[in-house]
Amino acid sequence: FPLRLTTGRTVAHYLSGNQTRRIGALVEQTPRPWVEVHPSLGFANGDPVTVVTRRGRVTYPALVTDTIREDTIFVPYHWAAPVAANILTVDALDPTSKIPEFKVCACRIERGGAVDPVSPPPVPPGAPPEVSPVDERPPSAPQGRGTGEP
């Protein structure tokens, strides 16, 4: 695995994209993930590139840029499976913080076939979520501290 995969955010989306991928204008601005690669790796914009790690493989369209190192590729993490960046990353926990190392891992890239499809958000952009007008559950206590019952 000669390359480093790093993951990160985009301007249009936040964390898993669960909220921002429901907003039409943001979905139009950044509709799907991609893989940023250096021109020296021999890909053209839009080429299918399969990112392979010990944990998985996902095919993204290429975004060729000279602002990334030749030994590094970048994938944004705001989408769910089958294109979720964290499918590829290390899930081992840091011994002190107990936080998984989702930020970087070893990888290789290959010329891909078809680009993997993007799962739609749980609610289509601009549509209200389907919720029951009557919620039978008891109300929650402030800041989720419990019911306050003795």
Q: Is 134 part of a structural domain of the chain?
A: no
Cis peptide leading into residue 82 (ω within 30°): yes
Q: Is 135 part of a structural domain of the chain?
A: no
**Residue 4, pLDDT score:** 98
The pair of structure tokens assigned to 98 is 């107990």
Say which CATH number the domain at 46 has: 2.40.40.20
Q: Is 137 part of a structural domain of the chain?
A: no
Buried/exposed code over 103-123 (b: 16+ C-beta within 10 A; e: otherwise): eebebebeebeebbeeeebee
Q: Is 38 part of a structural domain of the chain?
A: yes
Q: Is 108 part of a structural domain of the chain?
A: yes
The pair of structure tokens assigned to 134 is 């009557």
**Residue 101, pLDDT score:** 83
Alpha-carbon span 144 to 150, nearest angstrom: 16
Alpha-carbon span 18 to 123, nearest angstrom: 9
**Residue 141, pLDDT score:** 44
Taking the complete model, does pTM exceed 0.95, yes or no? no
Q: Which domain holds residue 20?
A: 3-115
Alpha-carbon span 2 to 72, nearest angstrom: 9
The pair of structure tokens assigned to 131 is 């919720």
Q: What is the pLDDT along the chain (150 residues), one digit of tens a residue?
A: 999 999 998 877 767 776 777 777 777 778 889 999 999 999 999 999 999 999 999 999 999 999 999 999 999 988 888 999 999 998 888 889 988 888 889 999 999 999 998 877 666 666 665 655 555 555 544 444 444 444
Number of structural domains in the chain: 1
Alpha-carbon span 114 to 30, nearest angstrom: 19
**Residue 135, pLDDT score:** 52
Q: Is 122 part of a structural domain of the chain?
A: no
Q: Is 20 part of a structural domain of the chain?
A: yes
